[in-house]
Amino acid sequence: MGGIDRGRHAGSFPAMHVLSGKARKAGVLGWPVSHSRSPRLHGYWLARHGIDGAYLPLPVRPERFEAAVRALADLGFAGANVTIPHKEAAFTLCDSVDAVAHRAGSVNTLIFAEDGTIRGTSTDGYGFVESLAEQAPGFAPAEGPAVILGAGGAVRSVAAALLDAGCPRLILVNRTIERAHALARDLGGAVEVTAEADLHGVVLLVNGTSLGMAGQPPLAIDLTPLPPHAVVADMVYVPLETPLLAAARARGLRGVDGLGMLLHQARPGFEAWFGAAPQVDAELRAFVAHDIPPDLRPSSGA
Ligand SMILES: NC(=O)c1ccc[n+]([C@@H]2O[C@H](COP(=O)([O-])OP(=O)(O)OC[C@H]3O[C@@H](n4cnc5c(N)ncnc54)[C@H](OP(=O)(O)O)[C@@H]3O)[C@@H](O)[C@H]2O)c1
């Protein structure tokens, strides 16, 4: 049995995290990966559940990605998360992917099955919809049209999840408009592409670009046309309260931050690898938010 050894032999050994030979292993593959909060997040749940397991940062160059994934499977890992720039490569190497990953054309969660096959799913969209339900209770994507700014990997998953959740009309706006058209084609259904966002009658506005992130230019958009019951969501979580969310709240609109999406997208992977259903609660939020530089998070630490 592994887990935290709180010093049964008090005085002889310091309290330490001890793994047994049967410990379950997972991690996050990215290049770079040092910015990832996933080890902190999964580490919290491992400790909370007293699980004999470990979750590691796994920096892997793009040209070594496939070899690294196969090696992890050989080494007895239960699976891995995948972040920039490997999400499309992960999709390609999976033996099977679920419907959401297929629609999104990208995978952020790998599960190494007992029969030696690699299964893939894309949980960013799931995390987004769960976070929406948590931070804007009572709101349903079926209520009306949504505008998504961006057409990158994360938007692919979020757009598919919103359509699955009943969004009746999805409007994509992206700097590179061909990328938005390609996504609309892949998604099928009630998806439109426009060069400029028209927010009249829109009930959900989502920023899925990197604009507004610390070190990036701000997102310039006038929220005035949004109806008073609209929800504004930002996938960016550094800073935690983006200028977009601050502008939405100043107008009395409900805001949904990107940290909630990050926390919720991790739940399916953790459950598949470590066998416990983890919860997102205020303590976890504060623990992960604590890793965001103090000047980029509200003083509450939330
Ligand atoms: N909260 C979470 O759990 C979570 C998870 C994943 C991602 N995210 C966030 O979601 C955002 C997108 O991530 P991603 O993985 O989808 O990245 P990505 O595939 O690189 O896509 C980036 C998107 O941002 C747009 N963009 C970048 N710079 C821009 C600029 N100067 N002006 C206008 N548009 C610009 C890109 O437009 P072009 O197509 O024209 O390049 C593209 O649509 C990032 O902010 C990321 O941090 C959050």
Global confidence as pTM: 0.94
Atom of ligand 1 nearest to the CA of 84: 15
Residue 132 to residue 257: CA distance in whole angstroms: 9
Task: With a cut of 90, say whether residue 8 has pLDDT above it.
Answer: no
Q: Which of 86, 87, 119, 254 is catalytic?
A: 87
Residue 119 to residue 111: CA distance in whole angstroms: 5
**Nearest one of 289, 270, 274 to 127, comparing CA atoms:** 270
Question: Which tens digit of pLDDT belongs to each residue from 61-77?
Answer: 999 999 999 999 999 99
Looking at the chain, the whole-number percentage of residues with pLDDT higher than 70 is: 95
Report CA(268)–ligand 1 centroid distance (Å): 23
Ligand 1 pocket: which residues have CB below 6 Å? Answer: 84, 124, 127, 150-155, 174-176, 179, 208-211, 213, 217, 235-237, 258, 261-262, 265
Atom 23 (ligand 1) nearest CA = 209
Average pLDDT over residues 36-58: 97
**pLDDT for 301:** 41
To test the pocket of ligand 1, the residue of 84, 210, 241, 256 to mutate (highest count of ligand atoms within 8 Å of its CB) is 210
Question: Which tens digit of pLDDT belongs to each residue from 241-277?
Answer: 999 999 999 999 999 999 999 999 999 999 999 999 9
3-class secondary structure, 154? helix
**pLDDT for 153:** 87
In angstroms and rounded to an integer, the radius of gyration of the C-alpha atoms of the chain is: 20
**pLDDT for 11:** 66
Task: With a cut of 50, say whether residue 166 has pLDDT above it.
Answer: yes
3-class secondary structure, 67? helix
Task: With a cut of 80, say whether residue 187 has pLDDT above it.
Answer: yes
**pLDDT for 96:** 98
Residue 44 to residue 41: CA distance in whole angstroms: 5
**pLDDT for 197:** 92
Q: Of 16-20, 33-37, 49-53, where does mean pLDDT reach its minimum?
A: 16-20
Report CA(41)–ligand 1 centroid distance (Å): 22
**pLDDT for 31:** 97
Average pLDDT over residues 143-165: 95
Question: Which tens digit of pLDDT belongs to each residue from 112-126?
Answer: 999 999 999 999 999
Average pLDDT over residues 178-205: 95
Mean pLDDT of all residues in the chain? 93
Task: With a cut of 80, say whether residue 3 has pLDDT above it.
Answer: no
Q: For residue 32, is the peptide bond before it cis, meaning its omega torsion is within 30 degrees of 0?
A: yes
Residue 87 falls in the annotated catalytic set: yes
